[in-house]
């Protein structure tokens, strides 16, 4: 499950959903749905967030 990692990374960096959504160029509600698991996150957003947070995609996906 990746969505708890998304929230944890965001909170660890003292960001709000709106800031991360702006980075991804998406609506805040869409990003909120990623964090709650109501919507699958596209691969390109996982890659972008891994670069943004300087972590691996495996970490975001909960594989590490």
pLDDT at 1: 79
pLDDT at 64: 79
Q: Where do the H-state alpha helices sit in 1-64?
A: 3-12, 17-24, 28-36, 43-53, 57-60
Average pLDDT per block of 10 residues along the chain, 64 residues long: 92 98 98 96 97 96 88
Beta carbons within 10 angstroms of residue 3's beta carbon: 18
pLDDT at 35: 95
Structural domains of the chain, ranges and CATH numbers in brackets: 3-60 (1.10.260.40)
Asked if 27 contacts 18 with a C-beta cutoff of 8 angstroms, the reply is no
Burial class (CB in 10 A: 0-12, 13-18, 19+), 38: exposed
pTM above 0.85, yes or no: yes
């Amino acid at each position: 499950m990746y969505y708890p990692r998304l929230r944890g990374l965001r909170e660890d960096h003292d960001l709000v959903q709106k800031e991360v959504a702006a980075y991804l160029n998406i609506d805040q509600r869409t990003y909120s749905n990623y964090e709650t698991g109501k919507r699958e996150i596209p691969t390109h957003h996982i890659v972008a967030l891994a670069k943004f947070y300087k972590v691996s995609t495996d970490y975001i996906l909960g594989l590490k």
